[in-house]
Amino acid sequence: MTRTFRSQIFHYVFLVIALVSPVFAAGSPAPHISLFVDAKDAPRKIFHARMAIPAKPGTLTLCYPKWIPGEHGPTGPIQDLAGLKFATTSGQTLSWRRDLLDGWTFHVEVPAGTSSVEALLDFISPVGSEGIYTGGATATDRMAVLNWNAVLLYPEGWTSDELTYDASLRLPEGWKFGTSLPVASHSDDEIKFAPVSLTMLVDGPVITGQYLKVVPLNPGQTPPVEMDIAADSAAALDPPADVWEHFKNLVTQAGMLFGAQHYRDYHFLYSLSDHVAHFGLEHHESNDSRLGERALVDPTKRLLGSGLLSHEYVHSWNGKFRRPAELTTPDYEKPMQTDLLWVYEGLTQYLGEILTGRDGERTPEQFRDALAYTAAYLDHRPGRAWRNLQDTADGVPSMQDAPSQWESWRRALDYYDEDELNWLWVDTIIRQQTHGQKSLDDFCRIFHGAPGGPPRVKTYTFEDVLNTLNQVAPYDWRGFWTGRLTNHGPGAPLGGIEGSGWKLVYDDVRSEWVQARESDRGTVNAAYSIGLWLRPDGSVTDTVEGMLAAQAGIGPGMKVIAVNGRRFSGDVLRDALREGKNSSVPLELLVEDTEYYKTFKLDYHAGEKYPHLVRDEAKPDLLSDIIKPR
Ligand SMILES: [Zn+2]
């Protein structure tokens, strides 16, 4: 997944099946559940579901999916489930009670003579920025994404592979749709899907809308790949033609990187709306990626959005096909262990980023500026003094929704970006150790490649990662990764940037990437000069512990009102930082803190500072080779 930005398998046999035996299934076939979802009210942000669930007299225990694949936490949007009602087929209403120890579990009393229970429920899509991932805002007046985990219950005691769902869906009139789910029949506004396992159903969200564009990305080839894009306007679906060429290149370049595909067909489900949650979520045969309405047609937004689709596509190989054993759970109630997210997400982040260079989404300079941006913020992460990188992965189920204030001290989901730097380092070590004969591409072909075919899960452990690395290039990989995951700095791991022939430097020139981030995300970046991240209105979102602003007493939540006596703006602050280079007068900040005003004087005279990569001519330029098309 990708949190945007500050940042599941089929009727095929799963390896996990053998690990779990159904509690009450001995000798009887797993239930076959019918599910009808009425999305006609999607513009009102409400979805109605009706299920028929086989049952026996006694207590029927039903679960609402809690641990959603790819979300890495117990994030199933239980707070958005409403209208829950159970009845017999003859219409007798049944009493139910929520489990006192697990709010996602319901117990229904089933009377004698009953073989099937009808369940009714509504999923209420949150509005605005509330909720994340499949629990985030998912519908507008013109489009919607349906994630099946949000609109169903399943009986306890079976694995998600064992349960079969007959799903059907009614759409708002005239809305088109895209999905990786096999369609059995389609008439007017109603779609009947082929019976699939619960695993496969959750793996196959449906995108739908009035404006829906389908773009084949590898015409005539197998397995087929297409992009199904829904937007809030037709205009949002009409970018320059080279945009489609980059996505076609992405499919070609990913195919060359991994050497085989693990899907029957693949759908990029791409939402363009300012009124849905923005994120990316991976599946075996699709991804649910959502950005603002103008993400394809506005060049700045297109640049900033680059990397999202490549990241989610890479997950089909790294995360879905190859998955850490402890992230591979039999159902949606068993907790996931997230300690290997530095492979699941970190390697995906690295590969997704370098593919933006290989497919042409970013020029080499744009790629380097983005890499410098990442390295710089991680190089100003004092939180690593108390919290190592491993803990950012271990802690994610309980704290992934932490606020952005104090992020440099708290640390965040650093196993994405910091492991991008670490996997770059691995790539350079492989190239150096093999004198340019091998690269991380070789690791990917062994770890993620042939034989291809329909979706399946092949689990791995830390040892499997080390063994494959050693197969490509013998090295002390255990020592390398242990060091990377448990160190306390100081500073970011820059060995990959330096080993690939480049150096991280700071100067007073804001790169295109820095400017784009600031204008689009509404930030003012003075992090590397005085240690302040601000909003355009002067609100302090973060301070870098140990740097001048923090030392002076400024903290997140305060608001800079004026700089050297003039009302705050990004330009006013930047001008003052520049002028301070030629002056011994301290930088004066008037700051409001919980209704009180204070003046802080910062004895700072080193000007603006923004990150760049510059060439180290003493070393070969491996980085340019890494991002070159294959
Ligand atoms: Zn991801």
pLDDT tens-digit map of 152-191:
999 999 999 999 999 999 999 999 999 999 999 999 889 9
**pTM of the full structure:** 0.95
**Residue 26 CA to ligand 1 centre (angstroms):** 37
Whether the Cβ atoms of residue 381 and residue 492 lie closer than 8 Å to each other:
yes
Which tokens sit at 535? Answer: 């909003």
For 581-605, the DSSP string reads: GG--SPEEEEEEETTEEEEEEE---
pLDDT computed for residue 5 by the predictor: 41
How many other C-beta atoms can be found within 10 angstroms of the C-beta atom of residue 174?
9
**Residue 400 CA to ligand 1 centre (angstroms):** 13
pLDDT computed for residue 131 by the predictor: 74
pLDDT tens-digit map of 566-597:
999 999 999 999 999 999 999 999 999 999 99
Measured distance CA(100)–CA(397) in Å, rounded = 21
Q: What is the pLDDT confidence band of residue 24, given thresholds at 50, 70 and 90? A: very low
Measured distance CA(153)–CA(19) in Å, rounded = 22
- Return all residues near 74 (Cβ < 8 A) that are at least 6 apart: 66, 67, 104, 335, 397
**Residue 589 CA to ligand 1 centre (angstroms):** 39
Is pLDDT above 70 for 13? Answer: no
Is pLDDT above 50 for 22? Answer: no
**Residue 16 CA to ligand 1 centre (angstroms):** 22
Whether the Cβ atoms of residue 342 and residue 422 lie closer than 8 Å to each other:
yes
Q: Give the mean pLDDT of 40-64.
A: 98
**Residue 7 CA to ligand 1 centre (angstroms):** 9
Mapped to the 3 state alphabet, what secondary structure does 151-199 carry? HCCEECCCCCCCCEEEEEEECCCCCEEEECCCEEEEECCEEEECCEEHH
**Residue 268 CA to ligand 1 centre (angstroms):** 14
**Residue 54 CA to ligand 1 centre (angstroms):** 36
Is pLDDT above 60 for 9? Answer: no
**Residue 547 CA to ligand 1 centre (angstroms):** 32
Average pLDDT, whole number, for the chain?
94
Residue 51, beta-bridge partner list: 35, 119
**Residue 72 CA to ligand 1 centre (angstroms):** 10
Measured distance CA(538)–CA(557) in Å, rounded = 10
**Residue 281 CA to ligand 1 centre (angstroms):** 7
Between the alpha carbon of residue 327 and those of residues 23, 364, 461, the distances in Å are: 22, 35, 10
Is pLDDT above 80 for 27? Answer: no
Q: What is the pLDDT confidence band of residue 127, given thresholds at 50, 70 and 90? A: confident
Q: Give the mean pLDDT of 5-26.
A: 36
**Residue 308 CA to ligand 1 centre (angstroms):** 9
Q: Give the mean pLDDT of 399-421.
A: 94
Measured distance CA(115)–CA(88) in Å, rounded = 8
Q: What is the largest CA-CA distance in the chain?
A: 89
pLDDT tens-digit map of 207-262:
999 999 999 999 999 999 999 999 999 999 999 999 999 999 999 999 999 999 99
Whether the Cβ atoms of residue 382 and residue 488 lie closer than 8 Å to each other:
no
**Residue 345 CA to ligand 1 centre (angstroms):** 5
Q: What is the pLDDT confidence band of residue 401, given thresholds at 50, 70 and 90? A: confident
Q: Between β-strands 225-231 and 266-272, what pairing exists: parallel, antiparallel or unpaired? A: parallel
pLDDT computed for residue 446 by the predictor: 98
For 64-101, the DSSP string reads: ---S-TTT-SS---GGGEEEEEEEETT--EE-EEE-SS
**Residue 415 CA to ligand 1 centre (angstroms):** 10
Q: Give the mean pLDDT of 382-397.
A: 97
**Residue 70 CA to ligand 1 centre (angstroms):** 7
What percentage of the chain exceeds 90 in pLDDT? 93
pLDDT tens-digit map of 488-532:
999 999 999 999 999 999 999 999 999 999 999 899 999 999 999
Q: Give the mean pLDDT of 407-428.
A: 97
pLDDT computed for residue 26 by the predictor: 45
- DSSP H/E element including 62: strand 58-63
Q: Between β-strands 2-3 and 279-282, what pairing exists: parallel, antiparallel or unpaired? A: antiparallel
Between the alpha carbon of residue 495 and those of residues 101, 294, 378, 381, the distances in Å are: 47, 37, 13, 17
Measured distance CA(30)–CA(148) in Å, rounded = 19
Q: What is the pLDDT confidence band of residue 19, given thresholds at 50, 70 and 90? A: very low
pLDDT computed for residue 132 by the predictor: 82
pLDDT computed for residue 4 by the predictor: 52
How many other C-beta atoms can be found within 10 angstroms of the C-beta atom of residue 459?
16
**Residue 507 CA to ligand 1 centre (angstroms):** 32
